[in-house]
Structure 1
Amino acid sequence: MANKGYWIGRVDVDDVEAYQAYIDANGAAFAEFGARFIIRGGAFETVEGTSRSRNVVIEFPSYQAALDCYNSPVYQAAKAFRTPVSTADIIIIEGYEDA
C-alpha cells in the first residue's frame, strides 16, 4: 500500500478578497485527487524559526496523488489566482507509515 502524500503550505496573503478566488477555484482539484484538509488556518505559535500568517496541511491518498494534483491543469488554473496576491512556501511530502 502506498504511503499518503501531504502538502504543507505556509502562506502570507496580501489581498484577502482576491485570495478568495483561489479558495473558490481549488476545491475541484482537491476533490478530483481525494484531498482532505488536516489543518486549514487556525491558531499557532512560532516557537523556532520563521512563520507565515496562514498554515495548511492537506492529506492525499498517496504521494503520487499529491504530486499529480499540484501539476494538474485544474490546480494550476486555481494557482493562477493565488500567485499574484500571496507569498507561499509549499512542499509535497510522502507520509510515514510505521509497519
Structure 2
Amino acid sequence: MPAYMLAHLRKAEELHPEVLEYLERIQSTMDPFGGRFLVHGGPIEVFEGEWPGDIVMLEFPSMDHARNFYNSAAYQEIQPLRANHLMGELVIVEGVEPDHDSAEMAAGLRRATAC
C-alpha cells in the first residue's frame, strides 16, 4: 500500500540559500526509495480553520520505503538544510486500498464499539 509523507512548513521571512541547496538535492535522495512529489508548495485554498504555511506531499510505495528514505544517510545529510530554516511538522501516513469504502469502515467501527 502506498504511503505519504506530508510536511506542513511555515513560510520563512527570507529564503535561505541552504533551503535552495536542499531543493536541489532532495530528488536524488528520494529516487532509490521510489519517492515522488505529489504536492510541492502550490496555492492553498483553506475551507475550514487556518493553514499558515505550505504543504509538501511525497508518495512512496510503502511505509517502509518512506521510513527508509527519511532515515537514509543521504537524506539525513541534507535534512538540516531545510529543518534549520523552515519550521513545521512532518508525518508519514499509510494510504488506503484502491477499493476503500468509508461506509464499510463506519460499519466496522459501529460493530467494534457496540455495547
Report the TM-score range of the alignment, normalised by the length of the smaller protein: 0.7 to 0.9
2:84 counterpart SS class: helix
Distance in 2 (alpha carbons) for counterparts of 1:79 and 1:22: 7
Q: How many residues align?
A: 97
Which structure is higher in RCO with an 8 Å CA cutoff and minimum separation 6?
Answer: 1
Higher strand share: 1
- What is the TM-score of this pair, normalised by structure 1? 0.87
Q: Which moved more, 1:9-18 or 1:37-46?
A: 9-18
Partner of 1:69: 69
> Percent identity between the aligned chains?
28
List 4+ stretches of structure 1 deviating above 4 A.
Answer: none
- Whether 2:88 is the aligned partner of 1:88: answer yes
1:93 counterpart SS class: strand
Distance in 1 (alpha carbons) for counterparts of 2:26 and 2:20: 10
Partner of 2:30: 30
CA RMSD across the alignment:
1.5
Unaligned runs of 5+ residues in structure 2 are: 100-115
- What is the TM-score of this pair, normalised by structure 2? 0.76
- Give the partner amino acid of 1:96: V
